[in-house]
Amino acid sequence: MPGSSAPQDTPTRPRPSGLVLVACSGGADSLALAAATAFVGARLGWQVGLVTVDHGLQAGSGQRAEQVAAWARERGLDPVEVVAVTVGTSGGPEAAARDARYAALADAARRHSAAAVLLGHTRDDQAETVLLALARGSGPRGLSGMPVHRDQAGVRFSRPFLDLPRADCRAACAAQGLTPWDDPHNTDPAYARSRVRAEALPALVATLGEGVVANLARTAGLLAQDTAYLDELAAAALGRCRTGSGLAVSALRELPAALRTRALHEWAAGLGAPRTALAHRHVETLDALVTAWRGQGPAYLPGGITVTRTADILTPAHPAAAAASGRDHPTESGAVSGKVLES
């Protein structure tokens, strides 16, 4: 882009002449990313495309999405798509919109055989994510925030601006004469992230100084490294604990808690428990079958899965098996191991 002052760092490193798709809402962050990727891509021989998702949650959302697409076509991006999605209700409005958006982006990437989908999250977004995770009592995985790269549903998602402040993206748009769209949802106090953005994080900055945003993001990066290493150790440990379709309690009991709970979490996800619904309380109840065994009943996991302990083995049962045996288990009530916990 002539006169572009957008960051010149390479957004990602797909194969030469590969296609990268930019996810662009029209906001300052993703608009700056699209402009920067077009500028860099032209010099590195990439094909650069753009996908904008219409969530249909606001009046005129379809028209705004078409405006973003028209801008991208004018800049020579190809392919350019507007994808309309239906947002469900699972997990609340923010999570449902995010799930619908990522599914649409992944589908577009697969259809076009894209090397990567680029996302416009910034250092400020990372700091907000860490604060939200801290408030929700998340463990190290939640406090690790968003990764720079993640392979999901067979697609590589990358966040090249994750170490840049949000203000740089606005400055880049202003320097290039680009007019970003400010999503009113980003300032709606009904949403937790909006409240963190408008109130909590500014209060921390006012109290502790400007460096708090970078420090929160840095903390996420350090925790991500530790978590990745522990996850590798836990995956190897899980393999040693497997016995048929179950897990050997004696082998699990020998593991340090940090590895044992990670192994149980991964095992539960492998059984089919949705990761977005698999909470600490589920893993805690599985762990109790190993470390606090008093003959208690089964652990109930998301997706209608039950896990029982018989002698030295944790054995899973799926919904179909439970139905065939006539068992009734409260998969949505939050009941685990015979007691009800608040979700």
- The CATH classification number of 19-214 equals 3.40.50.620
Distance, in Å, from the CA atom of 221 to the CA atom of 147, rounded to the nearest integer, reads 8
Distance, in Å, from the CA atom of 21 to the CA atom of 300, rounded to the nearest integer, reads 40
Q: What is the average pLDDT across 53-75?
A: 89
Q: Residues 6 or more apart from 98 whose CB is under 8 A from it?
A: none
Distance, in Å, from the CA atom of 193 to the CA atom of 107, rounded to the nearest integer, reads 26
Under the banding of pLDDT at 50, 70 and 90, the label for residue 318 is confident
What pLDDT was estimated at residue 338? 34
Length of the chain in terms of residues written: 343
271 within 8 A of 301, measured Cβ to Cβ: yes
Is the pLDDT higher at 141 or at 220?
220
Under the banding of pLDDT at 50, 70 and 90, the label for residue 136 is confident
- Specify the amino acid at residue 180: P
What pLDDT was estimated at residue 320? 52
Share of the chain above pLDDT 70, in %: 87
Distance, in Å, from the CA atom of 69 to the CA atom of 91, rounded to the nearest integer, reads 30
Under the banding of pLDDT at 50, 70 and 90, the label for residue 139 is confident
Q: What is the average pLDDT across 78-86?
A: 92
- Among the ranges given (11-25, 113-127, 246-260), the one the predictor scored with the smallest mean pLDDT: 11-25
Query: What b-and-e string marks burial along 240-252, b requiring 16 or more CB atoms within 10 Å of the CB?
Result: ebeeeebbbbebb
What pLDDT was estimated at residue 127? 97
- What are the residue ranges of CATH 3.40.50.620 in the chain? 19-214
What pLDDT was estimated at residue 152? 86
- What are the residue ranges of CATH 3.30.465 in the chain? 247-340
**Backbone φ, ψ for residue 157 (5° rounding):** -105, 130
Report residue 292 as tokens. 């606090």
Report residue 98 as tokens. 């995010």
Q: If DSSP codes are grouped into helix, strand and coil, which group holds residue 188?
A: coil
- Which whole-number Å values give the CA distances from 186 to 52, 190, 285, 308, in the listed order? 17, 10, 37, 44
pLDDT over 90 at 170, yes or no: yes
Is the pLDDT higher at 306 or at 339?
306
Going by C-alpha positions, the residue among 60, 37, 56 that lies closest to residue 48 is: 37
Q: What is the average pLDDT across 209-232?
A: 96
Is the pLDDT higher at 320 or at 317?
317
Distance, in Å, from the CA atom of 223 to the CA atom of 234, rounded to the nearest integer, reads 16
What pLDDT was estimated at residue 90? 74
CATH T-level fold of 247-340: 3.30.465
Distance, in Å, from the CA atom of 173 to the CA atom of 150, rounded to the nearest integer, reads 27
What pLDDT was estimated at residue 61? 84
Q: What is the average pLDDT across 136-157?
A: 91
Q: Residues 6 or more apart from 149 whose CB is under 8 A from it?
A: 12, 156, 157, 158, 159
Q: What is the average pLDDT across 210-234?
A: 96
Span 260-311, pLDDT tens digits: 999 999 999 999 998 878 889 999 999 999 999 999 999 999 999 999 999 9
Q: What is the average pLDDT across 11-23?
A: 68
Distance, in Å, from the CA atom of 331 to the CA atom of 309, rounded to the nearest integer, reads 18
Going by C-alpha positions, the residue among 323, 296, 326, 324 that lies closest to residue 308 is: 296
Q: What is the average pLDDT across 307-336?
A: 64
What pLDDT was estimated at residue 294? 95
Report residue 209 as tokens. 């100084």
Report residue 278 as tokens. 């698999």
